[in-house]
């Protein structure tokens, strides 16, 4: 498996993202456009970035200082746990309230209250878990 959030890993994530109609299709229905960064809690910057246009991942790679709409962080141990067993809504809620899931940029509370975004957000972790 490629190193988590490396350009190769992010390309696999983008492929899995686009292959899941409950993720990319659901986000296309609401015209979701976003630049999403991922990385480790405590690091000065995220590691990887995914650019989504109308629900589809259109580019991915290493974070290079670009402006992001979301910056999602967790510890290495937490990412490992979620990649081996993708979290559900409850797991993510507990992760957020206990500080295991951090949003350096973006509003988790607003997103999770919108079922049009919450469902696909949960599905994004399943897409991550399929990266070889």
Number of domains the chain contains: 1
CATH number of domain containing 109 = 3.30.1050.10
Residues 80-107 have pLDDT tens digits of: 999 999 999 999 999 999 999 999 999 9
* Mean pLDDT value across the chain: 95
- Give 25's strand partners: none
With the CA atoms of 38, 116, 11 and 7 taken in that order, what torsion angle do they form, in degrees rounded to the nearest 10?
-10
State the number of CA atoms in the 13 A half-sphere of 114 facing the CB. Answer: 13
1 in any annotated domain: no
Q: Is residue 74 part of a domain?
A: yes
Burial category of 67 from C-beta neighbours within 10 Å (exposed 0-12, middle 13-18, buried 19 and up): exposed
Residue 103 belongs to what domain range?
A: 7-129
Let me know if residue 118 belongs to a domain: yes
pLDDT in tens, 16-44: 999 999 999 999 999 999 999 999 999 99
Inside any domain, residue 64: yes
């Amino acid at each position: 498996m490629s190193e988590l959030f490396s350009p190769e890993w992010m390309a696999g994530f983008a492929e899995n993202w686009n292959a899941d109609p409950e993720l990319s299709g659901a986000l296309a229905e609401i015209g979701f456009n976003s630049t999403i960064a991922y990385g480790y809690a405590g690091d000065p910057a995220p590691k990887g970035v995914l650019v989504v246009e109308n629900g589809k991942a259109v580019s991915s790679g290493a974070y290079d200082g670009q402006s992001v709409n979301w910056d999602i962080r967790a510890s290495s141990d937490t990412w490992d746990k979620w990649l081996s067993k993708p979290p559900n809504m409850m797991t993510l809620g507990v992760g957020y309230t206990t500080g295991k899931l951090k949003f350096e940029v973006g509003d988790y509370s607003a997103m999770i209250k919108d079922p049009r975004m919450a469902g696909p957000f949960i599905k994004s972790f399943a897409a991550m878990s399929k990266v070889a």
